[in-house]
Amino acid sequence: MNKALAPKVESTKFDAEAIRKDFPILQREVNGRPLIYLDNGATAQKPKSVIDTIDRYYRDQNSNIHRGVHHLSQLATQAYEDARETVRLFINADHDYEVLFTRGTTDSINLVASSWGRRFLEPGDEVVISTMEHHSNIVPWQMICDERKAILKVIPIHESGELDMAAFQSLLGDRTRMVAIAHVSNSLGTINPVEDVIRMSHKHGALVLLDGAQCVPHMRVDVKALDVDFYAFSGHKIFGPTGVGILYGKEDLLNNMPPYQGGGDMIKKVTFEKTTYNTLPHKFEAGTPNIVGGIGLAAAIDYVSQFEPRALADHEQDLLDYATEKLQQIPGLKIIGTAEHKASVISFIIEGQHPFDIGTLLDQQGIAVRTGHHCTQPLMDYYHIPGTVRASFAMYNTRADVDVLVAALKRALEMLS
């Protein structure tokens, strides 16, 4: 990342209380109470360094990239390409051109489904997803399978919210071309055994796309060690801006895929008879990109990277364990998703209560949680529930937040009973 743009952050020991101070929004009140933000699975809050980077970009560097010979354009281009390098290092990709900027996880998955699918899916080929997928990792595959007369198969899950790996094994076959699953489930928090999924899929010659939207805020991902073919995630869930995301793809695969969208930046030469396309990564980045988004995302990655991954994971595991223990003491409360390996996400239902009512009464007490089906309707159908209340934690949450949540929940239940 460009030194001129990136705020300098010193390496520090993990301290959630100190971290809170980096996030201006956490100082505000909601409905007359201090905000307790437990909807990090939907979007995470932004540290001051990200906000400042965005502000500084528009004040000092704003210009279009890859075009101008003038000073500002070069500054902006440099910052944007430095941001790509920051992302590359973060996920340990071999080359910066394997890192594509997109609008977000949804856009990344659509890019692969559409571009790879149109070129490589033949009638009768199979794409495998799982029961716990977000709609963003279901619908793009349904669309392309429909178009290419391919077959969509779904890995069942156990009641605990873990993939049925034996069933997955039996779904893999000669016609399996793509396996697309969540690294971490947004509704349940389950951390899927992606190493096994990748190994088993590759044995059958199938590619693997991981939806990493819910994973990257919580743990480090090494695409090379995983040997994953495609990896998608969003900027806004990892403390960066909205409207920007990443698609990592292996060089050979990306080179063999046709462009996703046509327009500026993705071309080498255009005549009315024929257009030749630009090389990676620009082939897949038509039009003026979300420049400040990319630069802001790099600032967010710089911010997260200052923390020792183990310390961050320990803190979040402590929150998860503490919240699980406290919530389980509430009569009638049932946690949905009890996998052995979970990210700091807790979905629950309460006997006889509608998630919407709970969410409304928590909001009145300044607590932000998500209620509903979390864009995973097939998963809710599996559990025969209309939705859940979901508390999803980030590194700036504390045990005190959990205590407030539990007290507010008890109060809500008194009111509803």
Partner 1 sequence: MEINRLQDEIVEEFELFDQWMDKYEYIIDLGKKLPLIDSTFKDEQHLIPGCQSQVWLHAEMQEGRVNFTADSDAVITKGIIALLVRVLSGQKPEEIATSDLYFIDRIGLKEHLSPTRSNGLVSMVGQLKTIGKNLSKAH
Q: Which residues bind partner 1 (CB under 8 A)?
A: 31, 354-357, 359-361, 364, 371-373, 386-387, 411, 415-416
Least distance (Å) from partner 1 to the CB of residue 397? 24
Measured from the CB atom, is 254 or 389 closer to partner 1? Answer: 389
Q: Which residue, 30 or 89, has its beta carbon nearer to partner 1?
A: 30
Give the shortest CB-217-to-partner 1 separation in angstroms.
Answer: 23
Task: Compute φ and ψ for 336, nearest 5 degrees.
Answer: -100, 115
Of the two residues 34 and 287, which places its CB atom closer to partner 1 in the complex? 34
Helix (H/G/I), strand (E/B), else coil: 352 = coil
Q: Which is nearer to partner 1, 135 or 202 (CB)?
A: 135
Cα(284)–Cα(296) distance, integer angstroms: 20
Q: Which spans in 138-219 are helix H? A: 139-148, 165-171, 194-203
| Choice between 33 and 310, CB closer to partner 1 | 33
Q: How far is CA 75 from CA 7, 69, 78, 100, 245, in A?
A: 16, 10, 5, 20, 22
What whole-number distance in Å separates Cα of residue 162 and Cα of residue 218?
19
Nearer to partner 1, 35 or 253 (CB): 35
For helices 48-56 and 291-305, angle between their N-to-C axes, nearest 10 degrees: 150
Strands 151-155 and 207-211: unpaired
Confirm if 396 and 16 have CB atoms less than 8 A apart: yes
**CA pair distance 100, 260, nearest whole angstrom:** 12
Out of 232, 254, 375, 405, the active site residue is 375
Please give the sequence-ordered ranges of beta strands (E in DSSP) within 115-254, or none if there are none: 126-130, 151-155, 176-182, 207-211, 230-234, 245-249
- Phi and psi, residue 413, nearest 5°: -70, -35
> From residue 384, how far is each of 92, 104, 159, 182, 375 by CA, in Å?
40, 30, 12, 21, 15
| For the chain, the helix, strand and coil percentages under 3-state DSSP, each to the nearest 5 | 45, 20, 40
User: What is the C-alpha separation between 155 and 126, in angstroms, rounded?
Assistant: 12
* Shortest separation between residue 390's beta carbon and partner 1, angstroms: 13
Q: Any catalytic annotation for residue 215?
A: no
Q: Provide the annotated active-site residues.
A: 375
